[in-house]
Structure 1
Amino acid sequence: MKVLHLSWVAFFITFFVWFNHAPLLGAIAESLGLSPAEIKILLILNVAIAIPARVIIGMITDHFGPRITYSALLLVSSLPCFMFAFADNFEQAAIARFLLGFIGAGFVIGIRLVSEWFPVNELGVAEGIYGGWGNFGSAAAAISLPGLALVFGGDDGWRYAIASTGIICAGYSILFFTQISDTPKGSTYYKPKSTGAMEVTSIGDFFLLLLMKIPMYLVMGLLVWKLSASEAQLLSESQSQLIYAGLIMLYLFEVYQCYRVNRDIFNQPVAEAHQYQFKQVAILNLLYFATFGSELAVVSMLPLYFSEVFDLSMVTAGLLASSYAFMNLISRPGGGWISDRFGRKRSLIILTTGLSVGYLLMSLITHQWPLVLAVTVAMLCSFFVQAGEGAVFATVPLIKRRLTGQIAGMTGAYGNVGAVCYLTVLSFVSYQWFFLIIAASAAVSLICLAFLQEPKGTITEINEDGTVELIGVG
């Protein structure tokens, strides 16, 4: 339990720092003389690198262990936090926000750490508490930082408020390093055989892995397009073309790395005891696309939605919309508990059906609805969305122990991919179609769930001395 609490606090701090700018944007814009277009660019930059960062941090976690990786991430991320706090112009602020996106990858480290410390029958609840309580860091920033800026006072109050989050981040990295170990005493921390790419165990899975990498690169290209097409034109056309070419080259390099790590499967089959099915990972990716991706997107637009549909002040609309995010405290652990009690696949089917129906109901909301009914529907939908997230990450650690960080990284990245895709869709369609499209994508994920196999039996891992370890998963 000590490890669980230290872990969710670490995750809480990463989100607290990652979104420390959001409640202070007005003061930041006034202090730095930012235009509305430049503010939008900062918001995009804040999430841009989180997609590849989660994959990279997942690999680093599997190789070096959660203790070193989490501590280093917190310590290093405090530097761009200070850089943003004391930025003198838009360019400095933009670079700092881009680099701070790396702290958004902290989530995947704790997934591996918690899975090392809890048995299978408690893993869903433990991962749910880690994710749900840690995710509340963004809401805590919105609640506390404006008041803290007022306490510091003056035109630079926002700077000291943001700098204080950097101090907390750096300080906690030292505490985490001294208080955590990667596994319980006597347990083995299993590492991948190779680094640089995810291991797969069949030729078909190799090509599926390459296919599942493509959407992440397409979304990063979409972010580049947004930065070049904006009014501020942070990127010129030539710079954009150069980045597009770089993304293509990076993908080709990943293809090479995947082949380098997995080339043995083209010569001889992997022993059945060591096989796992990558389709399990692909299905969880799609589910997290629909769950966490829609949560990030809806949290971003819900205050404005309530304000426009029901003609409310932004303060009132913001308070009502916050009910969607507050559900995380109970919904995500609840989803893990349901998964522990009723089975991983069955729980995912129930919760995915619920979120699809929930978004369908939200698409039907009009100004003629009683406000209390609209908020109730939003909160009900929120429960299924966040409980679904908990159920996804109750399943992730049961696929292949030594690859848990990489699997969590890829699945987590797909959540960010979903958010970018949904918000892009919102820029072209009405609110009603926005909710309908999310419901439809959830329905597609539900169909894919038919091919998910319930984790059962054991995972086979090999100790350093060559002995075989069987890890029960259900």
Structure 2
Amino acid sequence: MGSLSIEHGDNVNSDGAPPRKFALAVDSENKATEFRLFSFAAPHMRTFHLSWFSFFSCFVSTFAAPPLLPIIRDNLNLTSTDIGNAGIASVSGAVFARLVMGSACDLVGPRLASSSLILITTPPVFFTACINSPFSYFLVRFLTGFSLASFVSCQFWMSSMFNPTKVGVANGVAAGWGNLGGGATQLIMPLVFELIKHMGSTKFTAWRIAFFIPGVMQTVSALGVMILGQDLPDGNYRDLMETGEKTKDSFSRVFANAAKNYRGWITALCYGYCFGVELAIDNVIAEYFYDRFDLNLRTAGIIAASFGMANIVSRPGGGFLSDFLAARFGMRGRLWGWWIVQTLGGVLCIWLGKTSSLSLAIFVMIVFSVFVQAACGLAFGVVPFISRRSLGLVSGMTGGGGNVGAVITQLLFFKGTRYTKEDGITYMGIMILCCTLPIMLIYFPMWGGMLFGPSSKEDATEENYYAAEWSAEEKARGLHLNTIKFAENSKGERGRRRRLAPTTDATPSHV
């Protein structure tokens, strides 16, 4: 099959209709082949901005409580166990929600899936102002945490809007700016709290009123996604299904295809110890500095904010690095980059736990944040290539793995008084090192893996790998044709050293 052309701004439709016009250069799937950060051009860059801001709002809501925890724990008489359980609850609900979100993106599209979830999880944010017991604190944090599943729609959307050569940086910037909410809330909530208290409220009233800010942000972002969002470059799922440009898939086939691809399970495990670590740190870092170094609430919040705020450059940097390495070394470059950066993050995490100097602890925390967040960007430089048919569910599996990692880490090291915060951080670093090793097992027949090059078999091609997700009957009906377009556009993952060779559309019986 010959190479499909990439033109600026338009592309011929498969049904022979007049070409659609776009502000950005696009490929044969109408995915953007360029990334203009400060553009709001529809649909590619508008989708980007809607995606990261909605995820940002969910992050602010989910982690609005930790920066005010010294006040909340006094008001509600929370014990260390109560605080630990609530921290676990805040990230555990999203494990299941991310799997559901992945399936919803595959079946009904990211616009409806994302906006519906965000609206459903908004009431618990407002209800936080009314809680009066440890159990109610646990409950609102658990229910609010479901909103973090919007991460899956964020990454699905970027992978659906941008060409493989730009998917790393698009995923990295969108998720990085979204994760920025974990740092921004460390600044926002203490400042809002102080402002409300300055206006005459008592401290036990001020923290409650402060929760209306993240609630309003989340509501506005959901409405924006619903009204202004678009599922794919060519339109929304429902419209495309009505015109026959997109076929409605079945959950059972999408699920089976994702479940049997071992690569998705490995990315889920490894992502648990980059993004999962980030979630765990968001829950404990302000309290860690407040208690260990005897700081006031505002100072501890500012220091803690620098961890999450690093996302403005670190996770996008990881996505950019993934695309850069792929342009030179192909998929093997993406995998090596992810393993190296995440391993260094583990070393820095151990160092942070062993540091007793405030100034050095701040420095190590910032450097650690850069590496662990860049590893997240590198992870989602790999995920879009694991499956085309089950992209949403594989993204959900991986994203859910991040939450599982956070839950396990908090259960083991940050629940109760068994370990001090500094010891828990040290042991978490050791887990990062161990759980990053399976990246070495990810192997694509047509591109290779960290330890071995691509297969020499003639059927080890992009077309065969992705077409194998469809049955012979489905291929006879032409349902796999968009998959073949993606296969053509992903040949850059071979790297510069491999010369592009003609391929066929034959399909092996397995992947």
Q: Judging changes above 3 Å, is the alpha-carbon distance between structure 1 residues 451 and 107 closer, same or farther for their aligned structure 2 residues?
A: closer
Counterpart-to-counterpart distance in 2, 1:302 and 1:26: 12
1:457 aligns with 2:462: yes
Unaligned runs of 5+ in 2: 1-44, 449-460, 492-511
C-alpha deviations, 1:325-361, integer Å up to 9, x for none?
2221111111111111112442332342233244335
Question: Which amino acid letter does the alignment assign opposite residue 443 of structure 2?
Answer: L
Question: Which amino acid letter does the alignment assign opposite residue 323 of structure 2?
Answer: D
Deviation at 1:394, TM superposition (A): 1.8
Contact 2:290–2:300 at 8 Å: present in 1 too?
A: yes
Q: Judging changes above 3 Å, is the alpha-carbon distance between structure 1 residues 312 and 404 closer, same or farther for their aligned structure 2 residues?
A: same
Contact 2:383–2:394 at 8 Å: present in 1 too?
A: yes
Question: Larger Cα Rg: Structure 1 or Structure 2?
Answer: 2
Contact 1:299–1:325 at 8 Å: present in 2 too?
A: yes
Total equivalences in the alignment = 400
Residue 199 of structure 1, aligned match among 247, 251, 255: 255
1:12 aligns with 2:24: no
1:466 aligns with 2:510: no
Q: Judging changes above 3 Å, is the alpha-carbon distance between structure 1 residues 177 and 300 closer, same or farther for their aligned structure 2 residues?
A: closer
Deviation at 1:163, TM superposition (A): 2.4
**Structure with the largest fraction of helix:** 1
Contact 1:28–1:158 at 8 Å: present in 2 too?
A: yes
Counterpart-to-counterpart distance in 1, 2:85 and 2:353: 31
Q: Judging changes above 3 Å, is the alpha-carbon distance between structure 1 residues 362 and 285 closer, same or farther for their aligned structure 2 residues?
A: closer
1:339 aligns with 2:322: yes
Residue 121 of structure 1, aligned match among 165, 184, 197: 165
Q: Give the match for residue 43 of structure 1.
A: 87
Deviation at 1:102, TM superposition (A): 1.2
- RMSD of aligned C-alpha atoms? 3.3
Counterpart-to-counterpart distance in 1, 2:63 and 2:214: 10
Q: Judging changes above 3 Å, is the alpha-carbon distance between structure 1 residues 419 and 388 closer, same or farther for their aligned structure 2 residues?
A: same
Q: Give the match for residue 340 of structure 2.
A: 353
SS in 1 for 2:443: coil
Question: Which amino acid letter does the alignment assign opposite residue 277 of structure 2?
Answer: S
Q: Judging changes above 3 Å, is the alpha-carbon distance between structure 1 residues 393 and 83 closer, same or farther for their aligned structure 2 residues?
A: same
1:278 aligns with 2:269: no
Deviation at 1:12, TM superposition (A): 0.5
Q: Judging changes above 3 Å, is the alpha-carbon distance between structure 1 residues 21 and 322 closer, same or farther for their aligned structure 2 residues?
A: closer
C-alpha deviations, 1:137-188, integer Å up to 9, x for none?
1222221123323444424333332123223322332222111110112696
Residue 222 of structure 2, aligned match among 167, 173, 197: 173
SS in 1 for 2:64: coil
Deviation at 1:32, TM superposition (A): 4.4
Q: Give the match for residue 380 of structure 2.
A: 393
Deviation at 1:77, TM superposition (A): 1.3
Contact 2:346–2:432 at 8 Å: present in 1 too?
A: no
1:326 aligns with 2:309: yes
Question: Which amino acid letter does the alignment assign opposite residue 319 of structure 2?
Answer: G
**Equivalences for 1:225-240 in 2 at 5 Å?**
none
Counterpart-to-counterpart distance in 2, 1:158 and 1:445: 39
C-alpha deviations, 1:376-431, integer Å up to 9, x for none?
44333322211111011122122222312211111111111112222333255574
Q: Give the match for residue 87 of structure 1.
A: 131
Question: Which amino acid letter does the alignment assign opposite residue 178 of structure 1?
Answer: I
Q: Give the match for residue 183 of structure 1.
A: 232
Counterpart-to-counterpart distance in 1, 2:192 and 2:110: 32
Q: Judging changes above 3 Å, is the alpha-carbon distance between structure 1 residues 298 and 140 closer, same or farther for their aligned structure 2 residues?
A: closer
Q: Give the match for residue 272 of structure 2.
A: 289
TM-score by length of 2: 0.69
SS in 1 for 2:230: coil
Contact 1:351–1:385 at 8 Å: present in 2 too?
A: no
When structure 1 is superposed on structure 2, of 191-200 and 351-360 the one drifting more is: 191-200
Q: Judging changes above 3 Å, is the alpha-carbon distance between structure 1 residues 34 and 149 closer, same or farther for their aligned structure 2 residues?
A: same
Q: Give the match for residue 219 of structure 1.
A: none
Q: Give the match for residue 235 of structure 1.
A: none
SS in 1 for 2:321: helix
C-alpha deviations, 1:47-106, integer Å up to 9, x for none?
231211111121122211111111111211112222222335444443333222211211
Q: Give the match for residue 110 of structure 2.
A: 66
Question: Which amino acid letter does the alignment assign opposite residue 127 of structure 2?
Answer: M
C-alpha deviations, 1:105-138, integer Å up to 9, x for none?
1110111111111111111111001110001112
Unaligned runs of 5+ in 1: 210-276
